[in-house]
Amino acid sequence: MAERLLTSRFNPRFYGRRKGRPLRVHRTRLMRELLPHILVKEASCIDVSKETWLEIGFGGGEHIAEMAEQHPDIQLIGCEVFENGIASLLQHIEGKNLQNILIYPEDVREFLKNLPSACLNKVFIMFPDPWPKKKHQKRRLVNRNFLDDVLRILKPEDAELRFASDNEDYVKEALALVKDTGFFPDIILYDQKPADWPLTSYNQKAIQAGMNSWYLKAQNRKSHRRACSGFTCLDNLDTFAG
Ligand X SMILES: C[S@@+](CC[C@H](N)C(=O)[O-])C[C@H]1O[C@@H](n2cnc3c(N)ncnc32)[C@H](O)[C@@H]1O
Q: Which residues are catalytic?
A: 129
Least Å from the CB of residue 158 to ligand X = 24
Give the CA distances from residue 145 to residues 112, 150, 190, in Å, rounded to whole numbers and listed in that order.
11, 9, 25
Q: Which is nearer to ligand X, 109 or 155 (by Cβ)?
A: 109
Task: Provide the CA 192 distance to its chain's centre, in angstroms.
Answer: 18
Least Å from the CB of residue 78 to ligand X = 9
Give the CA distances from residue 64 to residues 20, 46, 113, 114, 123, in Å, rounded to whole numbers and listed in that order.
21, 18, 22, 22, 11
Q: Which range touches ligand X (CB under 6 A), out of 67-75, 127-135, 182-190, 209-217?
A: 127-135
Residue 45's identity, in one-letter code, is: C
Subset of residues 36 to 75 that bind ligand X, contact rule: CB under 6 A: 57-59
Q: Which range touches ligand X (CB under 6 A), out of 29-37, 175-183, 199-207, 227-235?
A: 199-207
Q: Which is nearer to ligand X, 125 or 189 (by Cβ)?
A: 125
Least Å from the CB of residue 27 to ligand X = 16
Report if residue 202 touches ligand X, rule: CB under 6 A.
yes
Number of residues in contact with ligand X, rule: CB under 6 A?
A: 22
Tally of CB atoms within 10 A around 33: 11
Tally of CB atoms within 10 A around 157: 10
- H-type helices in the chain, by residue range? 25-33, 35-38, 62-70, 83-96, 108-114, 144-153, 168-181, 201-208, 237-241
Degrees to nearest 5, angle at CA 184 with 149 and 80: 40
Least Å from the CB of residue 238 to ligand X = 27
Q: Which is nearer to ligand X, 64 or 188 (by Cβ)?
A: 64
Least Å from the CB of residue 130 to ligand X = 7
Subset of residues 131 to 170 that bind ligand X, contact rule: CB under 6 A: 141
Measured over the CA atoms of residue 142, residue 109, residue 203 and residue 198, the dihedral's sign is positive
Q: Which is nearer to ligand X, 16 or 179 (by Cβ)?
A: 16
